Amino acid sequence: MDLASVYQRIEFLKRELNEHNHRYYVLNEPSISDFEYDRLMQELISLEKDYPQFADSLSPTQRIGDDRNQEFVQREHNLSMYSLGNTYNRDEVIEFDKRLQKLIQGPIEYACELKYDGAAISLTYEHGRLIRALTRGDGTRGDDVTANLKTIRSIPLTIPVESCPALFEIRGEIILLRDTFNALNEERLSEGEPPFANPRNAAAGTLKMQNSSLVAKRKLDCFLYSLAGEALPGATHSENLSWARRVGFKVPPYLEVFQDIEKVLAFIDKWKDARKKLPFDTDGIVIKVNSLEQQNQAGFTAKSPRWAIAYKYPPDQAETRLVSVDFQVGRTGAITPVANLEPVLLAGTTVKRASLHNADQIQILDLHIGDFVLIEKGGEIIPKIIGVNLAKRDLFATPVIFITTCPECGTALTRDQGEAKHFCPNEDLCPPQIKGKIEHFISRKAMNIDSAGIETVGQLYEAGLLKTIADLYDLTYDQLINQNRFANKSVSNLIAAIQESKKIRFERVLFALGIRYVGETVAKKLARTLGSIDAIMLASREQLISVDEIGERIADSLISFFAMEKNREVIRRLMEHGVQMSQVIEENVKQIQPLSGKTVVISGTFSRYSRDELKEFVEKFGGKNVSSVSSKTSFILAGENMGPEKLKKANDLAIPLMGEDEFINLLSL
């Protein structure tokens, strides 16, 4: 065939395979046999191999995945992924309606749909092509899992561009059907691997696998339930989902629209038991204001939209016998009691253990060994004991007594005033604390030393090679090659990963130190405000509290941590090894930042930089990104196809608009 014929054949095969994927995985109406499908796929694979100039990153052949490992990059969502407020109470659903009647003009229409139990995902399409798939993350930033999402055959890689927004997001849940989940667990058991606890955990874990060819074998599915963006095709939530279904997205058919709250409550009642007969897990009902204009009128709180709420069905409960209680030691020295139970089936999984949280919880429950206890799953995931059947208590049952000494090192436990937990203060010699701090330090969100793991840390600790996080940087090839399970490649990979971690930004290093109450957000605020470890160590209590989101408890924890000579010594050693201990300020970032104190809304599409890059520039030069226009907005960075509602609100509030070129000139980029 000549090149033109080859190209035409490749395009034909892509269209055919995309159509058959849609029919099989979305419509459940296959029109050809598996044999015929495989024959078409093999032909396309062969042609793309022989004519690589016609290969396409969104070809159906990409759904088989890539067996090379990949790093997940974190990217910002164009629009924040808020969490929903939850309720288990019908009266609170009625109160939700009453609040909205005060916020919204005119009659309210509600769109009700099932709450699918999976891993949240956001798919971004530009000019009809899938360009990015992000996990929810913290709602502002998520992991880029695009390569893994391409393997899910119910997700269209391209959609018709006619009547399609130039740029939009569609959001949903990555799920595993129960039959697929059960088959996966049977396979894991046959290979001697532990089974997954539930389909949600299995879906979330699969989504984060580094090898997309393995992801492809897991048969993930995706239910989509919301469009986000500007210039959307419909004026209501339900219209947008109807459009999404028409152009090829897998939108479940369970959505219904109602004009009053009583019918919403009837919808909740309808699915209470019926949902258990579905082939996938669901734990409630999502209720949304249908009109997008009315959604804007209602607005958002800091964490969730005011125009939506999730009604969750009361969790399933079961009764079983308390066999014993273990006490576990965490990396901070916190002691967590864990109940060992006679195995019982609860919400589709076998429960053998349940957290008891702290001494107060044990006392409130008045637990005795051998008690018959009532357990439920909080959010239908985490088992917890909620009560005791006193009628079945044995006359000679012994009460559960909270320990007074550490089960690992024997040190007397302490409990600070106002603290719910007991702690082991022996952080220098208590093995779980030492190993836990190192495990936290190497974790992905901290120093990302991915060639190490819990087993490796344990082995090197037992060998006397790791006692502090700084010891990681003293490890040598000769020390490691003599350890069991270490070969030339694994040693080289570990040393290379440790060296690479020296490039990790200071804010993540600060988080990695494992200072109590200093999580990712607090570490970022401290690093960006004070700039270096020296400045933080020398800061007074008042200076620390003046930093955004830093309260007295965090300030006291920081002062206590840096007051200890052993901690200062670890930091000194890390600095000597070249670990980043100050914020790196790029040369082109001026000392007097041009966006200092500015609140910026970014809207539309841009030619020179992506939205993510523009958002990074706003933060880097002292500004703050927000998603909605208000009287506090300093200016709108406006691209092509700016949202009409944002434009109208900007005009109403006299908010200035700034183009991409003007913005770049302002920052002298």
Report the catalytic residues: 115
CA angle 364, 366, 371 (to 5 degrees): 135
Q: Which DSSP letter does residue 26 get?
A: I
Distance CA 265, CA 282 (A): 17
The token pair at 616 is 């990074």
Amino acid (one-letter) located at 408: E
CB contact at 8 A, 208 and 120: no
Cα 169 to the center of its chain, rounded Å: 17
What CA–CA distance (Å, rounded) separates 411 from 327?
14
Alpha helices (H) along 345-474: 359-365, 431-442, 454-462
CB 99 within 8 A of CB 108: no
Q: Is the dihedral of CA 197, 202, 205, 209 positive or negative?
A: positive
Q: Are 440 and 331 in contact (CB under 8 A)?
A: yes
280 secondary structure, DSSP code: S
| Phi, then psi, of 388 in degrees rounded to 5 | -125, 135
Q: How many CB atoms lie within 10 A of CB 444?
A: 12
Cα-based distances in Å from 489 to 475, 492, 496: 15, 5, 10
Dihedral sign, Cα of residue 622, residue 628, residue 631, residue 635: positive
Phi first, then psi: give them for residue 107, nearest 5 degrees. Answer: -65, 145
Instruction: Locate the DSSP E strands across 210-334.
Output: 221-229, 256-258, 282-289, 308-312, 317-329
Residue 637's SS3 state is strand
CA neighbor of 133 nearest in space, from 156, 163, 116, 160? 156
Bridge-partner residues for 642, per DSSP?
none
Contacts of 477 (CB under 8 A, 6+ apart): 491, 492, 495
The number of beta carbons lying within 10 Å of the beta carbon of residue 140 is 15
Pair of tokens at residue 233: 């095709």
DSSP letters of 349-383?
A: EEEEEEE--SHHHHHHHT-BTT-EEEEEEETTTEE
Strand, coil or helix: what is 366? coil
